[in-house]
Amino acid sequence: MDLPVTISTRAVIKQSPNIRVYYPVVSDLPNKAAEMNINVAIVETLNRMLLDLGYHDQNLVEMQGYFEIKTNERRILSLTLLVYSFTGGAHGLTMVKSLTFNVDTGKNYQLYELFKPDSLYVERLSSIISEKITLWDIQLLDEFTKIRYDQDYYLADHSIVIYFQLYEITPYVAGFPYFPIPILDVSDIILDKGPLGILLPFT
């Protein structure tokens, strides 16, 4: 039986009431090397986000961070880290990053590692997203052409969710554009032993 992994919450310690950042820690995995790899990847990703958003900036007014667990089943863990910072100006800035692991091995999967070689997954996903942009009448900064080969994503509810950072394809007011794509819709190009293949069956 593939039970959900144990996740606890830790806080980034800094002597400021305006800085509250929380992140997940995985524990009790049989494979301790995998457990360490997962936790190190989470902390390293969070640290890069904090630095990018001015954690050491003397003008930092406020910083908030939290996480969301998107999938925790069938040996697959997919999560997002969200950090907001305000250093003055008209508004603050928020960044979202995601990580998807096989908890047996500790491997963190990039988007291109989910699909078969030569599957043209970039073109396939880009076409689906382009249709959704038109259908949902999403305002863009420029004409959408295609996603990056390593585009941000997470897994949730039998879907792969492709998303973009603030200002990446839309104006700030639009927030983060998220595009859920059912795994079944791309089942012909996924790797059977990868996270998408593992999550594809409904039973």
Residue 176's nearest CA partner among 69, 93, 85 is 93
39 and 63 in a single domain? The answer is yes
Cβ proximity of 159 and 144 under 8 Å: no
For residue 22, what are the β-bridge partners? 11
**What tokens appear for 106 in the block?**
């500790």
What is the spatial distance between Cα 189 and Cα 49, in angstroms, rounded to a whole number?
32
Among 84, 108, 132, the domain-final residue is 108
In tens digits, the chain (203 residues) has pLDDT values of 577 899 999 999 877 778 999 999 999 999 999 999 999 999 999 999 999 999 988 888 999 999 999 999 999 999 999 999 998 877 889 999 999 999 999 999 999 999 999 999 999 999 999 999 999 999 998 999 999 999 999 999 999 999 999 889 898 888 899 999 999 999 999 999 999 999 998 75
Produce one character per residue of 127-159: b if its CB has 16 or more CB atoms within 10 Å, e if not.
Answer: ebbbebbeeeeeeeeeebeebeeebbbbbbeeb
Give per-residue pLDDT as tens, 11-26: 998 777 789 999 999 9
pLDDT of residue 105: 97
**What tokens appear for 44 in the block?**
């390293």
CA end-to-end distance (rounded Å), the chain: 12
Domain with 127 in it? 110-203
97 and 115 in a single domain? The answer is no
Rg (CA), the chain: 18
pLDDT of residue 52: 94
Cβ proximity of 49 and 96 under 8 Å: no
Cβ proximity of 57 and 101 under 8 Å: no
102 and 117 in a single domain? The answer is no
- State whether residue 83 is helix, strand or coil: strand
Write out the H or E segment, with its range, that includes residue 17: none
Tracing tokens 């190190």 back to the chain, one arrives at 40
Give per-residue pLDDT as tens, 126-142: 999 999 999 999 999 89
> In this structure, is the dihedral angle defined by the CA atoms of residues 36, 158, 194 and 31, taken in order, positive or negative?
positive
Number of independent structural domains in the chain: 2
Q: For position 58, which CATH number holds? A: 3.30.565.40
Residue 138's nearest CA partner among 102, 106, 169 is 169
155 and 200 in a single domain? The answer is yes
194 and 121 in a single domain? The answer is yes
Q: For position 178, which CATH number holds? A: 3.90.640.20
